Structure 1
Amino acid sequence: MYIKPSLLIGGTEREAREHGDDIVVNPATGVQLAALPIADAGDISDAIAAASTAFPGWSETAPVQRARVLADAAALLRARADDLARMLTLENGKLLAEAKGEIGAAADVFDWFSGEARRGYGRVIPSAADTRMLAIREPVGVVATLSPWNFPVITAAKKIAPALAAGCTVVMKPAEETPGAALAMARCLLDAGLPAGALNVVFGRPADISSQLMAAPEIAKVSFTGSTPVGRHLARLAADGLKRLTMELGGHAPVIVMDDIDMDRALDLAVAGKFRNAGQVCTSATRFFVHGKVYDKFVAGFADRARSIRVGDGLDPQTQMGPLANRRRPPALERLVEDAVACGAEVVAGGARIEGQGFFFQPTVLAGVPANAAAMQEEPFGPLALMVPFRELDEALDAANSVPYGLAAYALTESSRNARRIARGLKSGVVGINTFAASSAETPFGGIRDSGYGLEGGIEGMEAYLVTKFVHEH
């Protein structure tokens, strides 16, 4: 059963005066799940006001008490994981097992920042005998968070958890396509004892909401996960108010495959890393640069595995890859495949949408993809693997770094010497060697160049939500 979404403002769920159709849709069937509540300017103003009103009390709440709320929310997420995961799969299309994994990862984030809430350390600075110099940490203020549809729970958790741990209050705008899962997480926080107004949730027209949030003087900091063009637009909007920003933007992750690999192990890792969530992952492995000595065997093995993937409804336990999340994605991937073939690439697996209900696309492998193909420059955000041979490692590193993105990058090699050289040479915020796990609750995550700036997760995750105040007593 899908629960009808609503706005959440000042601790109370609110009906919107307007609703949008064909937005909250089950991507496996194309059927609408619910009409989306559209927040108007008054709703957004009320959400900002509620967060502002709640800020003094929450920021002065003892860190141990804030920690307890976050830990209790984590426990509720785990207790409700089955229902939340089903809702997430209905909205997003990902496998039910992947959805449960995302709920568990979000709970881990709340647990981690429950601990960090107690560690907003300042310091005493040595000074003359008759003075005292202190550096103390304080919450930045009211925070706006904007998160995407591909991981609507974990990306929101990575923003909300450190903000609340630091003592900030939040106006949260989840993706319009996946309102239910985000609301369910917010309800866990309220049920765990978060004060009314400390977390508010609004949906609607993204441009209208972001413009109003950016213009509001009460908003001190914004955290955004999404596309690079939208990130640039938000940065321009934030400039007038000098608002702090954390930007986790697009990626186009390269994978360097050396000739010393254990072939079966490398293929198992690479295929799983590529087709997780149907490739709709900012850190998804996309551009595979494969040493010429193993290129033919790697491409053939990768294509065989891709062709064997069972595509279907994420609620079906037999499904190995779900649908794309919305109706915009299949034609976008078709365009990239057609362009790559016109540029000289060869389709060795998949290459087309799957006709019928829902937004399905075949797991696709393209070989010999030239650098001028659009897919080599644009983030595909789908089940599209691009194969390119190389001869020397320097050649592969140059090709891997040739796009302006720098979120995640990977390498498959059995040589520790190659691993160190590749880790140094890749221009990316995250580097995985023989793994495609790009982040966890306790590790920093963020990009460079066109993939944004600022970090989420780890001890670094709370830095963006704290300001340092110098106090000199004489």
Structure 2
Amino acid sequence: MQPADEILVGGKWRGGSGPVIETADPATGQVIARIHGAGVDDVADAVRAGQRAVADPAWRDLLPHERARYLARIADLVDGHAEDLARLQTADTGKSINETRALVASAAGTFRYFAAALETLEGALTPSRGPYLTMSVHEPIGVVGAITPWNSPIASDAQKIAPALAAGNAVVLKPAEWTPLVSLALGRLVTDSGLPPGLLSVLPGEGRVVGDAIVRHPGVGKVSFTGGTATGRAIGAVAAEKIMPVSLELGGKSPTIVFPDADLDQVVAGVLFGIFSSSGQSCIAGSRLFVHADVYDEVLARLVERAGKLRVGPGVDPATQVAPLVTHAHRDRVAAMVDRARDEGARVLCGGRAPDGPGAYYPPTILDGLDNDSATCQEEIFGPVLVALPFADEDDLVARANASVYGLACGIWTRDYRTAWRVARRVEAGTVWINTYKQFSVSTPFGGMKESGLGREKGREGILAYTRQKSVYLGLSEDPLPWA
């Protein structure tokens, strides 16, 4: 299912006008595809095609249940090509085949969920305050830009494309330059679904060129971005100039908190999954571990022992638990940050060195001995690196957990539901997991606080995020307005 050297521009497959994008298998370093990416002219063509498509009665006048049929059809096509999509994503990103299978299933489920949500979405008949009927309705924005990250392309693509189409928009999608293949393959399936041409474009390329052109284009009425905080801040600045709404899902340095009464078997399994699944390349990775002093030594010893047994290997092996990082350059960046942690005084309890040989591998690494205000505890590493810190007092714990520019996620492990509820409400995070971690439901809104982002995705409200709200007053009085 590997795409040809073509990109999707306004419903047409053609060669891109930008430079060649070379993608390599992170497990071997071997180049698997060369694709001419998009250029600024491709962005302009895609936006124009999108504007025509949303204005065409063939799309504009569809009833919600009719638009929903397209989303359901796309879901069926994704399901029908699930194994091919999963293997393509594993080759492109290095992720384990078990994870990419789950991501493909998530993408299909997202299209199916928003098809169902669209069929049941309602406007509002608001209470009248005079001789008129008042209604609140939601209308499409027009053309929206969707910029997705390299760490989970097809699932992130679906979380933006599906609700935007459900709301009646056209979408210009820019996948990450490092991992464009599965997004292009998804574009093929959307084309095969019969969706009217122009409603989806897939434009891989450099963020500072293609992404910037999408954000700045006057015909783009909203941008939804998932990625780094620095880029999100730049997008927000342009949006302010344009008076344009944005959704920003950005970085994280999420705390995981272990109270002394917690079930330690569940803790160890949950903490390992929270940081080392996806090789730590996850915005919600539980990368700061706060453990009560009474159980700190036991928890750390068990984590180190189990981390050393995690299976590191190529993503195509179903037994692999920790796959290679997305590129050798990213692996080297993670390694450099661990070296810096050593300079800050960290103890390396396991891992901490890139192995010899091919592949962008980095072992599960656990550090301690640092203060919460150290760079290692404050900056997002985006790799399989866990920093552990002891605590004794709840107020101090909450203060340190919140002492971060980020506020994306949090995990809490305790048998005491009162403690769980109290701390969950005090921690500044968009998502809190209690006695579990890294579980998701497309029906439940997701997003961050502080520098972790702006706005929410998923849930029925996820469709409304791609709309403009309008109020309509219907006069009921037979008499002229008295003023005139």
Provide the C-alpha distance between the structure 1 equivalents of 2:133 and 2:224, rounded to a whole number of angstroms.
35
Alignment of 1:263-282 (within 5 A): 263-282=264-283
Kept after mapping to 2: 8 A contact 1:258/1:290: yes
Provide the C-alpha distance between the structure 1 equivalents of 2:336 and 2:39, rounded to a whole number of angstroms.
36
Counterpart secondary structure, 2:348: strand
Deviation for aligned residue 1:6 = 2.1
TM-score, with structure 1 as normaliser:
0.97
Alignment of 1:90-239 (within 5 A): 90-127=91-128, 131-239=132-240
What residue is the counterpart of 1:256 in the other structure? 257
Counterpart secondary structure, 1:290: strand
What residue is the counterpart of 1:46 in the other structure? 45
Counterpart secondary structure, 2:320: coil
What residue is the counterpart of 2:480 in the other structure? none
1:392 and 2:386 correspond = no
Question: Counterpart amino acid of 2:11?
Answer: G
Deviation for aligned residue 1:38 = 2.1
Counterpart secondary structure, 1:265: helix
Higher mean C-alpha deviation, range 282-291 or range 215-224: 215-224
Deviation for aligned residue 1:126 = 3.8
Counterpart secondary structure, 1:240: helix
Question: Counterpart amino acid of 2:51?
Answer: S
Higher mean C-alpha deviation, range 436-445 or range 292-301: 436-445
Deviation for aligned residue 1:5 = 4.7
What residue is the counterpart of 2:443 in the other structure? 442
Question: Counterpart amino acid of 2:71?
Answer: L
Deviation for aligned residue 1:455 = 0.4
What residue is the counterpart of 1:11 in the other structure? 11
Kept after mapping to 1: 8 A contact 2:3/2:184: no
Kept after mapping to 2: 8 A contact 1:4/1:180: no
Provide the C-alpha distance between the structure 2 equivalents of 1:471 and 1:371, rounded to a whole number of angstroms.
52
Provide the C-alpha distance between the structure 2 equivalents of 1:358 and 1:458, rounded to a whole number of angstroms.
38
Counterpart secondary structure, 1:328: helix
Deviation for aligned residue 1:372 = 3.9
Provide the C-alpha distance between the structure 2 equivalents of 1:257 and 1:5, rounded to a whole number of angstroms.
50
Q: What CA deviation, in whole Å up to 9, does each residue of 1:10-30 have, x standing for no partner? A: 222111244425x41111111
Provide the C-alpha distance between the structure 2 equivalents of 1:421 and 1:131, rounded to a whole number of angstroms.
46
What residue is the counterpart of 1:413 in the other structure? 414
Counterpart secondary structure, 1:361: coil
Provide the C-alpha distance between the structure 2 equivalents of 1:442 and 1:196, rounded to a whole number of angstroms.
29
Q: Alignment RMSD, CA only?
A: 1.5
Provide the C-alpha distance between the structure 1 equivalents of 2:351 and 2:223, rounded to a whole number of angstroms.
40
Kept after mapping to 2: 8 A contact 1:413/1:434: yes
What residue is the counterpart of 2:481 in the other structure? none
Provide the C-alpha distance between the structure 2 equivalents of 1:438 and 1:96, rounded to a whole number of angstroms.
18
What residue is the counterpart of 1:338 in the other structure? 339
What residue is the counterpart of 1:25 in the other structure? 24
Provide the C-alpha distance between the structure 2 equivalents of 1:165 and 1:453, rounded to a whole number of angstroms.
21
Counterpart secondary structure, 2:328: coil
Deviation for aligned residue 1:373 = 2.8
1:35 and 2:34 correspond = yes
Provide the C-alpha distance between the structure 2 equivalents of 1:313 and 1:374, rounded to a whole number of angstroms.
31
Counterpart secondary structure, 1:314: coil
Higher mean C-alpha deviation, range 336-345 or range 264-273: 336-345
Deviation for aligned residue 1:220 = 0.6
Q: What CA deviation, in whole Å up to 9, does each residue of 1:333-366 have, x standing for no partner? A: 2222122222222111100112211111011011
Over 3 Å counting, the alpha-carbon distance change for 1:211 and 1:320 in structure 2 is closer
Kept after mapping to 2: 8 A contact 1:344/1:370: no
What residue is the counterpart of 1:426 in the other structure? 427
Provide the C-alpha distance between the structure 2 equivalents of 1:275 and 1:220, rounded to a whole number of angstroms.
38
Question: Counterpart amino acid of 1:37?
Answer: H
Deviation for aligned residue 1:129 = 7.7
Counterpart secondary structure, 1:132: strand
Provide the C-alpha distance between the structure 2 equivalents of 1:303 and 1:285, rounded to a whole number of angstroms.
16
Provide the C-alpha distance between the structure 2 equivalents of 1:272 and 1:75, rounded to a whole number of angstroms.
30
Provide the C-alpha distance between the structure 2 equivalents of 1:79 and 1:34, rounded to a whole number of angstroms.
24
Q: What CA deviation, in whole Å up to 9, does each residue of 1:115-170 have, x standing for no partner? A: 12223422223437853322211111110000000010111111111000010111
Provide the C-alpha distance between the structure 1 equivalents of 2:229 and 2:68, rounded to a whole number of angstroms.
34
Deviation for aligned residue 1:65 = 1.2
Question: Counterpart amino acid of 2:8?
Answer: L
Over 3 Å counting, the alpha-carbon distance change for 1:16 and 1:173 in structure 2 is same
Deviation for aligned residue 1:108 = 1.1
Deviation for aligned residue 1:398 = 1.2
Over 3 Å counting, the alpha-carbon distance change for 1:468 and 1:127 in structure 2 is same
Kept after mapping to 2: 8 A contact 1:133/1:471: yes
Question: Counterpart amino acid of 2:392?
Answer: R
Question: Counterpart amino acid of 1:226?
Answer: G
TM-score, with structure 2 as normaliser:
0.95
Number of aligned positions between the proteins:
473
What is the aligned-residue identity percentage? 39
Over 3 Å counting, the alpha-carbon distance change for 1:2 and 1:422 in structure 2 is same
Counterpart secondary structure, 1:354: coil
Question: Counterpart amino acid of 1:115?
Answer: A
Q: What CA deviation, in whole Å up to 9, does each residue of 1:398-439 have, x standing for no partner? A: 111111100111111111111011111110000011111343
Kept after mapping to 1: 8 A contact 2:17/2:42: no
Over 3 Å counting, the alpha-carbon distance change for 1:362 and 1:95 in structure 2 is same
Over 3 Å counting, the alpha-carbon distance change for 1:471 and 1:93 in structure 2 is same
